[in-house]
Each structure stands twice: as C-alpha cells, then as structure tokens.
Structure 1
Amino acid sequence: MNTILRSGSAQAEISTLGAELVSFTRKDTGTEYIWSGDAAYWTGRSPVLFPIIGAVRNGEIKVGGQAYKLANHGFARRSEFTVVEADESRAVFLLTSSEHTLSSYPFQFNLYITYTLNDSTLKLDYRVENIDGGSISFQLGTHPAFNCPLDQNGSFSDYVLEFSETENLDREFLNDAGLRISGKSETVLREERSLPLSHEMFKDGALIFQNVNSRQITLKSRLTGKSVAVSFEGFPDLGIWQPLNAPFVCIEPWQGFADIDVFEGELSEKEGIVTLSPGERFASSLTIEIN
C-alpha cells in the first residue's frame, strides 16, 4: 500500500514495503526525480539500510559469540512498515522487532521513519529506539536513486555532484563479496567541491567515503541547471553508486559501512556502529529538495 503526500508544487509517494520513497515529482513540470525501479538495472528506488549497511563477512553478524545470518543492507528494506500517522503532508512509518527480525538480529527495537513534505522539499526523519533489556548495536543508511539525466535533455556526463564544503576524499573499494578491501583506496577529491559524473567512474562499483565534511550534496545539470539537493544530519559517511551505465545515480548518506575483508569481531565492534543503552534513541535526517 502506498501513501501519497501533496503540496502546492510537489507530490511524494511512499510504500509501506520498506517505508520506501517510490516517487517524488514536481507538479508544474511533471519531472520525476526518483528512479523507477526498472529491473533491467535495479529494482530499488530509495531503500532504508538497517540494521547493517552493505555486506558482513561470511554473510553473518556475531552477537554474544553466536552467529546470525543477515543479508546485505539488512532486513528493513524487505519489511512491511505500519503507518502510525498520516495526513496530507506528513506520514509516520514504524518497523518494530518481531519473531522474524529476532531470528537474524537478536535485539528489540523500534525504527520510525517520518516523511514531511513542505513545498518542493521532502524531509525524512529517522529514529531508532532501544526497547531491549540490554544495549543494541546497529548501522543506519539511506539509498535514494535519482534519475540522471533529470529530464530528456542531455546525458549522464552533463551532471556534476556539488559538495557544500571543500572535500579531501579517498575512495574505498569492495571485493566480489561486497566487503571493503583492506589497504586499497584511491584519491577522488583533493581540496575540491565538485565531482563530475561519468559512467566509467563506477566500473569498479560504488564509491565509498568515510567522514565527509559536507552536509549537502547537489546533483546538478551543467546544461540546464536543473538539480536535486540532498542534505543530511547524523550520517557522517557516504556512498555514491549506480549499476554501470544505468540512467540514475544514488547519493547515499550513511552511519557506517560494509565490513572490511579481515573483520572477525562482534557486531558491537564494527567500524561505524551505533550502540544504544536501554531506553536510548538515535536520530538522523535526510532532506531532498527538487529544483
């Protein structure tokens, strides 16, 4: 079931499956900003990544010495959320722990995602609550895919990613199992704020960056000026991805990232992990502004 939010200038559509944003359009131009989910390239559109990001070594996490099988990016994107509030411009979705989630992730939690549409700006507020008797550990990430080009004019290589702050970014690489390759990196930006896009830059998979300075990244056409700005809080890390030659690009603020290929520890020992004591909450946000 889909929930539709409307403003004077835009419309957003969210599915209860994964609480996933499946459409975000401008009313005046009819421009669709979110990827269609065409299986020829990728069926996702804007999934939430929880309780892990990317892959874990051997496809499992360890908690208290016990192994639990957990698929890439976790289970939230494949789970039905409950709509707990909804009106014309705001909707709140909830995923809570269950017998199904406990079989792969042995913690009690609430995951809320609140969508608020104001004019041409859509804000996603994420909240994780620890309702367990002990501490819980998790990662949380976003994965919105934006059509590129944003309209029928131009090509993918006419677009650029503009960072709000000067960046020094070294890219990490993933192996065939989706794990970060220890000791392998490549400089992508040095004292720069602009990253021109090309399909070739994704021939080795996603670009993974830790601890970016910017809190806003704008996908912008150098021909038309049409753009979409992605702002975020509580997400220090970043993924940029597309299946090779696809007509979209994902701008993915994260809290955490995939395991490194030599990692053998417990979930609580992962890099980029969040740990909450009983009763504690974690909050972060993602804002999409279409222009």
Structure 2
Amino acid sequence: MITIENDDLLVEISANGAELQKVYNKKEQFDYLWNGNADFWGSRAPNLFPIIGRLNEYKYKKDDQIYELPQHGFAKEMTFEVHQESDIKAVFTLKNNEETIAMYPYEFTLTIEYTLVGALLAVDYRVENHSKERMPFSIGGHPAFNVPLNGAGSYEDYTITIQPKEEVKYFESNPLPYRSGNRKVLQEMKDGVMTLSHETFREGLIIIDEPKLDAITLESPEKHGVTLNVIDFPYVCLWTKEQADAPFICIEPFFGLPDIAGEIGTLEDKGGIILLESGEVKQLGFTMDLF
C-alpha cells in the first residue's frame, strides 16, 4: 500500500489497479471514500481502461478476429508498477504484457498519477501508444463516496450540484448495463441541483451527456463534501447499487460509454472512444476538492 499525506489529507493507494483505498480527513477524522464492503459493492475507486462500460457479449471485432474484454476493461485488475513516490505524490505505470495483448492487441503505457495540494487530490492519466497503428481506447475514474459523510444526516439530506447550471440530459440504460441509444432529461435536477434519493437509481446508472460540464459537487447538510473538476471529460456517471439502498454514491468522470445493446462491433465505432495515433500521447485528468 502506498501512502501520500499532508496536513489535510491521508491517501492510501493500492498497486492493484492503482486504486484509491482511502481519502481521509485528518482534522475531523473521517474517510470520504467508500470502504469496499462487498455486501454492496466490493470496489472503492477503480480506474477504467481501455473501455468504459460493457461490450455486447463482452466482445469486439478487430481484423476479422473476436476479442473479449471485461466490463470497464482490465486495468482495474492489473498490478501497476510504482514508478515514483514522495510525501505528496505517487505515480503508477502499467505496460502491455502477454495477458493484455490477448484481450487488447495494442502496445501502450498507462500512467496514473496522484498528487496532493492542500485538501485537493489530483488524478492524472497519461496514455502512450507504442503500437504501429492507431489505438482506440476509453479511460475514466469510478470513485465512490460515503453517504453519509462523517455520520452527518441521511442519504436524502445530500445534494449533487453541477456547474454550469443547465438542463441535464443523460443516456437511458436499457437493458442494464447497456444503453438504448436514447437521451432523457434528468427531471430530478432543478437549476443544477439534485437531492440524492435511492429511487433515482432504481433503474440503473445515470450517464450525464454534457460536454460543457465543469464541476460536480456532493455536499452534506454539515457542508462536508467533494467537488470533482471534470472539464477534461465529456461524460459524468452517477451510480449507486441498484435495489440495495447502498450508503455511497459514485461520481465517475468518463471518456467513453457502454455499448448500445445489439450486435458485436469494433472499438473504433464505440461511443465516446479516443483514437490515438501511433507514437502519440493523450493526457487528461480530474481533481477532487475535499471539504
């Protein structure tokens, strides 16, 4: 386990998936991050690469061959190398290997960097294409936050606020966890504010389709919370475990989408895909401003 720490926060990160395990408020002694209780959902904050969501039949086509990828890709299951470590920064890398090539026949380096600046945690991704061909991929984060935070209030006392405050549309999930291809207005969000309710998520995840979205904030009645600055990402997913009244909410910056339910397709045609030319690098990231 790798630990980075300053006067405000203590952050623990596992080399398995380069996944956050704890984001701890040192002054008030509580953890912002979900604890991974498998009775609800056994992860905490997986990193999603090289796809987001689920492929039809978990498969895709390339050069007349069929490949299989798990939901949200393989990075979350891989052991990363600890490339750099200091008091306030940790850098992890994953390179293609025999296991990844069998699922995803591209040569790459994925770097994930965590940096503390006061009460802000920056998460930065760098993807390098070492293949001799264009590489299709998606990438994103899946952090889950405790609700309630520090034991304050109930689930329905919390709000989600977006900036800028505009009408929000999201992708209809049908059947779960795929998309139907339709977009709907998020009626629960009024003037950029939505009160949390498990009922809102009974039918599944809400992927906000708003490329102008700058920030999204989870806030408690005692004014603890987190603001994710997501300007690099065209989509943000909100999710909690369906039918479970789970005590967490995921706020997920996505550069990619689940498949529309139907036939097996190519990654190049997948929604929200990034096409990275041979030898090129893609960098993007988000921050968590914790209060």
Shorter-chain TM-score tier? over 0.9
Contact 1:108/1:131, CA 8 A, preserved across alignment = yes
Contact 2:226/2:288, CA 8 A, preserved across alignment = yes
Counterpart of 1:95? 94
What is the identity percentage for the equivalent residue pairs of Structure 1 and Structure 2? 35
Contact 2:233/2:254, CA 8 A, preserved across alignment = yes
Counterpart of 2:245? 245
CA offsets per residue over residues 184-210 of structure 1, 9 Å max, x none? 635436772111110110100111122
- Name stretches of at least 5 consecutive residues in structure 1 with no aligned partner: none
> Which whole-Å CA distance do the structure 1 matches of 2:167 and 2:185 have between them?
11
Counterpart of 1:74? 73
- What number of residue pairs does the alignment pair up? 289
CA RMSD of aligned residues (A): 1.5
- Name stretches of at least 5 consecutive residues in structure 2 with no aligned partner: none
Counterpart of 2:215? 216
CA offsets per residue over residues 214-233 of structure 1, 9 Å max, x none? 22111012x21111111123
Tell me the secondary structure at the aligned position of residue 57 of structure 2: helix
> Which whole-Å CA distance do the structure 2 matches of 1:6 and 1:176 have between them?
42
> Which whole-Å CA distance do the structure 1 matches of 2:13 and 2:5 have between them?
12
Contact 1:212/1:238, CA 8 A, preserved across alignment = no
1:267 matches 2:258: no
Counterpart of 1:258? 258
Counterpart of 2:14? 15
> Which whole-Å CA distance do the structure 2 matches of 1:10 and 1:155 have between them?
24
Contact 1:167/1:190, CA 8 A, preserved across alignment = no
> Which whole-Å CA distance do the structure 2 matches of 1:184 and 1:288 have between them?
28
Counterpart of 2:112? 113
> Which whole-Å CA distance do the structure 2 matches of 1:92 and 1:218 have between them?
26
Contact 2:59/2:264, CA 8 A, preserved across alignment = no
Counterpart of 2:224? 226
Q: Which amino acid letter does the alignment assign opposite residue 268 of structure 2?
A: S
Tell me the secondary structure at the aligned position of residue 268 of structure 1: coil
Residue 74 of structure 1 and its aligned partner are, at CA, apart by 0.5
Contact 2:60/2:264, CA 8 A, preserved across alignment = no
Q: Which amino acid letter does the alignment assign opposite residue 150 of structure 1?
A: L
CA offsets per residue over residues 51-97 of structure 1, 9 Å max, x none? 01010011112112211011100000000000011011111100110
Q: Which amino acid letter does the alignment assign opposite residue 22 of structure 1?
A: Q
CA offsets per residue over residues 8-40 of structure 1, 9 Å max, x none? 111100000000011001111111000000001
1:192 to 1:64, Cα distance in 2 relative to 1, 3 A: farther
> Which whole-Å CA distance do the structure 1 matches of 2:124 and 2:269 have between them?
26
CA offsets per residue over residues 240-270 of structure 1, 9 Å max, x none? 0001311010000100110111354311111
Tell me the secondary structure at the aligned position of residue 245 of structure 1: coil
Contact 1:51/1:75, CA 8 A, preserved across alignment = yes
Tell me the secondary structure at the aligned position of residue 168 of structure 1: coil
Contact 2:257/2:270, CA 8 A, preserved across alignment = no
Contact 2:205/2:239, CA 8 A, preserved across alignment = yes
1:263 to 1:191, Cα distance in 2 relative to 1, 3 A: farther
Q: Give runs of aligned pairs for residues 135-284 of structure 1, distance below 5 A.
A: 135-176=134-175, 178-183=177-182, 185-188=184-187, 192-221=191-220, 223-243=221-241, 244-284=244-284
> Which whole-Å CA distance do the structure 2 matches of 1:279 and 1:106 have between them?
16
1:87 to 1:183, Cα distance in 2 relative to 1, 3 A: closer
1:190 to 1:147, Cα distance in 2 relative to 1, 3 A: closer
Tell me the secondary structure at the aligned position of residue 166 of structure 1: coil
1:226 to 1:187, Cα distance in 2 relative to 1, 3 A: closer
1:48 to 1:164, Cα distance in 2 relative to 1, 3 A: same
> Which whole-Å CA distance do the structure 1 matches of 2:169 and 2:230 have between them?
20
> Which whole-Å CA distance do the structure 2 matches of 1:77 and 1:228 have between them?
23
Contact 1:169/1:212, CA 8 A, preserved across alignment = no
TM-score (structure 2 length as normaliser): 0.95
